[in-house]
């Protein structure tokens, strides 16, 4: 409810304080405040020096990141026509509120005591006077928490509250578009299956928190129109009842912070568009560009964990050729025995290193999500690797790569029904591993001519008899591998034009994880790689059938089929040759049951849908990312945290490829690729 003072004017409810913030010493007033001969306040030496520093740094660099005298922080990433404000109430608990704005490009967090409030007013005045004239207008967005409501009945179960926002603005301010944007964006937020409620309030005076002195900021400073918005937040991310009263719900808090951040940036974008001379290209461009040292430390340490192993090497048999010969000799009736490389690391030690990484301390909402997601995936992959050839391997593989849903299974069955096992394929001579390596080196030299730092290579390995594997900038080719000549170009673009190229592009970015791969990157990576095969005319019917067979193989594996059962299903029922049926089954049953092979068809299916709906292909080359990461990558590009990808695949510049891409954008599914 909106409260009124003794004069009948609207006032705002009182907020409460974060122990993490109040743990630091607040600026304490000592004695009465003296007035100068001109009637203004007298400042302590450290306060005066601080205000001089703010003006000097903003005038010279347009940015400042510093602690306040006593308690608080001022963070201005660059000159922008806004600042977000949080004033910490004195002597109360306000869990989490002090961290909500820490991921924004311009914010001020300050103690709410009388003297600190006066200093905050002076800081804001200095900021507006220094930065404001560049834009002609300036907006202050202050947030505070709704007072905790009393829980009438004590319960051991914490109370789950509906998200509620009270939005305050000046009655005569020209903020209608800004307020409407913020209101609409907040209303789209949904937490714990409960939609947000937003209530608007007009105030005669500039909004301020009840119980704290109003900010001494005039409506106009040397030609700069100043405006303010107040946003009271119900802190649903912390408990208000039960045995957990006063505790933060960390997962809910991170979701809440990201949703609030997007809403605030959208409204700031609308304010800047309509009220200032600045024209940012996107609302996410208003996010911070300079990142804290902790961000780079977390990225580096996660990459170090990745450097300790390559799980595909550890679950790929070194005796696949010998196992095939033995399988033949036993009349295709006895399960083959696979031999694996020794593990190169202590999985328990790796996990210890992994969970010592302070991912939870990253306050940038986008990067916090990406880092935490990767940490969780590495935990699963390390378990997967350590549980090789045990009953735990398959359930852990399903956790990492998922399983076959009804849509994907039906797509695979349709492909096998539409494409006959006797369909014609081009006759061509087989190309040996040595020749394949030479072709790959020629392709690599092309990219090295465009960028001398493209230092990758192709190697033949005797401990990997058949197939191809890309790992950390190297293309490994099994020494007994042979490939029909009509498939060579498709193979080169799959392995070099996609896998090696995105590895290199990721290497050029400030984040090491973009070359190692964000969590779940394989699906989009393999979808891109198979798309490349189609674009260069190498996705022949036999290849599409194999992708479908891999999906059915994973489905059979999860359903409990034995190796022999799957081999017979592929050979006798679906018409694959014995050698192909063995190879597909081996890939799926390796390690104890690896479900990764479903991502090729699933990734292609998703990618075609994405492109058909107008999705942009260009950001997908930036590194090894998953489809759910596209909005995050776009945000980081708008913020100029990430650079454009230095290389794009050679084949994308060919006329035939551009023609095929036009067809895909008009709407094509996987079935439409058959014989097209």
Which pLDDT score, from 0 to 100, does residue 556 have? Answer: 97
* Domains present along the chain, CATH in parentheses: 12-26+41-149+157-290 (3.40.630), 310-344+387-673 (no CATH)
Task: Please state, in angstroms and rounded to a whole number, the distance separating the CA atoms of residues 299 and 303.
Answer: 6
Distance, in Å, from the CA atom of 267 to the CA atom of 273, rounded to the nearest integer, reads 10
pLDDT at 247: 86
Q: Tell me what pLDDT residue 36 has.
A: 39
pLDDT band at 154 (very low <50, low <70, confident <90, very high): very low
Residue 672 and residue 676: Cα distance in Å, rounded? 7
Give the C-alpha separation, 374 to 626, whole Å.
Answer: 11
Q: Does 93 score more than 50 pLDDT? A: yes
Q: How far is CA 338 from CA 157, 335, 388, 476, in A?
A: 51, 9, 12, 20
pLDDT at 272 over 80: yes
Mean pLDDT within 638-663: 96
pTM: 0.88
Contact 178, 267 (CB under 8 A): yes
Residue 208 clears pLDDT 70, i.e. is over it: no
State the distance between the two ends of the chain, measured CA to CA, in whole angstroms.
Answer: 64
Return the pLDDT at 30: 36
Instruction: Give phi and psi for 354, each to the nearest 5.
Output: -60, -45
Q: What is the pLDDT of residue 210?
A: 65
Average pLDDT, the chain: 89
pLDDT in tens, 105-142: 999 999 988 888 889 999 999 999 999 999 999 999 99
Encoding tokens for residue 220?
A: 């106009």
Instruction: Name the E strands within 303-425.
Output: none
> What single string gives the DSSP state of each residue in 596-633?
GGGHHHHHHHHHHHHHHTT--SGGGGSSS--GGGHHHH
**What is d(CA 157, CA 665) in angstroms, rounded to the nearest whole number?**
51
Q: Is 113 left (phi over 0), alpha (psi -120 to 50) or beta?
A: beta
Residues 254-267: tens digit of each pLDDT: 999 999 999 999 99
Query: What pLDDT sits at residue 24?
Result: 34
The predicted structure's pLDDT at residue 402? 94
Confidence (pLDDT) at 160 = 62
Write the burial class of residue 23 (CB in 10 Å: 0-12 exposed, 13-18 middle, 19+ buried): exposed
Residue in this structure with the two tokens 């609207």, named with its chain if needed: 10
Q: Quick: pLDDT tens for 400-454.
A: 999 999 999 999 999 999 999 887 777 778 999 999 999 999 999 999 999 999 9
**Which has the closest alpha carbon to 423: 295, 591, 540?**
540
pLDDT at 157: 54
**4: which residues sit within 8 A by CB, 6+ positions away?**
10, 11
Q: Compute the distance between CA of residue 218 and CA of residue 212 in angstroms, rounded to an integer.
A: 17
pLDDT reading at 328 higher than 90:
yes
Percent above pLDDT 90 for the chain: 77
Residue 88 has pLDDT above 70, yes or no: yes
């Amino acid at each position: 409810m909106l409260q009124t003072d003794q004069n009948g004017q609207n006032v705002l409810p009182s907020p409460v304080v974060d122990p993490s913030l109040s743990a630091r010493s607040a600026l304490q007033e000592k004695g009465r405040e003296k007035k100068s001969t001109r009637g203004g306040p007298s400042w302590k030496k450290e306060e005066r020096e601080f205000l001089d520093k703010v003006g000097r740094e903003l005038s010279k660099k347009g940015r400042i990141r510093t602690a306040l005298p006593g308690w608080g922080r001022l963070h201005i990433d660059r000159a922008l026509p806004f600042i977000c404000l949080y004033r910490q109430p004195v002597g109360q608990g306000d869990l989490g509120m002090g961290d909500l704005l820490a991921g924004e490009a311009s914010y001020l967090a300050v103690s709410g005591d009388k003297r600190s409030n006066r200093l905050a007013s002076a800081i804001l005045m200095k900021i507006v006077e220094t930065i404001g004239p560049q834009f002609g207008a300036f907006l202050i967005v202050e947030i505070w928490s709704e007072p905790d409501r009393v829980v009438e009945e004590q319960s051991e179960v914490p109370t789950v509250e509906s998200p509620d926002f009270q939005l305050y603005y000046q009655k005569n301010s020209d903020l209608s578009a800004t307020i409407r944007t913020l209101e609409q964006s907040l209303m789209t937020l949904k937490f714990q299956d409960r939609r947000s409620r937003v209530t608007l309030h007009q105030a005669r005076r500039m909004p301020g928190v009840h119980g704290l002195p109003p900010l001494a900021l005039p409506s106009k400073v040397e030609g700069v129109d100043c405006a303010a918005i107040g946003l009271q937040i119900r802190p649903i991310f912390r408990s208000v009842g039960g045995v957990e009263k006063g505790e933060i719900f960390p997962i809910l808090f991170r979701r809440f912070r990201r949703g609030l951040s997007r809403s605030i940036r959208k409204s700031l974008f609308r304010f800047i568009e309509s009220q200032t001379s600045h024209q940012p290209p996107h609302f996410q461009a208003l996010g911070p560009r300079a990142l804290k040292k902790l961000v780079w430390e977390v990225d580096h340490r996660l990459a170090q964990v990745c450097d300790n192993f390559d799980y595909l090497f550890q679950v790929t048999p070194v005796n696949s050729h010998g196992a095939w010969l033995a399988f033949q000799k036993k009349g295709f009736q006895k399960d083959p025995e696979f031999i694996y490389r020794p593990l190169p690391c202590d999985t328990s030690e790796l996990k210890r290193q992994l969970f010592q990484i302070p991912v939870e301390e990253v306050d940038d909402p986008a990067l916090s999500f990406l880092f935490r997601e990767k940490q969780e995936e590495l935990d699963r992959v390390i378990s997967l690797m350590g549980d090789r050839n045990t009953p735990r391997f398959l359930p852990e593989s399903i956790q990492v790569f998922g399983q076959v849903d009804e849509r994907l299974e039906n797509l695979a069955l349709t492909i096998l029904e539409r494409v006959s096992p006797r369909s014609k394929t081009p006759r061509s001579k087989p190309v040996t591993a040595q020749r394949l390596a030479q072709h790959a080196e020629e392709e690599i030299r092309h990219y090295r001519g465009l960028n001398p730092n493209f230092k990758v290579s192709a190697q033949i390995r005797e401990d990997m008899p058949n197939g191809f594997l890309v790992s950390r900038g190297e293309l490994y080719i099994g020494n007994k591998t042979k490939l029909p000549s009509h498939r060579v170009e498709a193979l080169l673009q799959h392995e070099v034009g996609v896998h090696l190229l995105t590895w290199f592009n990721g290497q050029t970015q400030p984040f090491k994880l973009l070359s190692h791969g964000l969590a779940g990157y394989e699906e989009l990576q393999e979808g891109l790689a198979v798309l490349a095969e189609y674009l260069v005319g190498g996705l022949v019917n036999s290849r599409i059938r194999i992708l479908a067979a891999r999906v059915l193989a994973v489905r059979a594996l999860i359903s409990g089929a034995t190796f022999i059962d799957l081999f017979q299903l592929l050979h006798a029922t679906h018409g694959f040759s014995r050698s192909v049926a063995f190879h597909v089954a081996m890939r799926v049953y390796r390690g104890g049951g690896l479900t990764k092979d479903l991502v090729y068809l699933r990734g292609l299916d998703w990618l075609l849908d994405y492109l058909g709906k107008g999705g942009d292909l260009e950001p997908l080359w930036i590194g090894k990312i998953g489809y759910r990461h596209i909005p995050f990558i776009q945000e980081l590009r708008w913020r100029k945290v990430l650079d454009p990808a230095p290389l794009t695949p050679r084949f994308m510049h060919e006329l035939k490829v551009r023609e095929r891409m036009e067809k895909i954008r008009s709407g094509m599914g996987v079935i439409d690729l058959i014989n097209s």
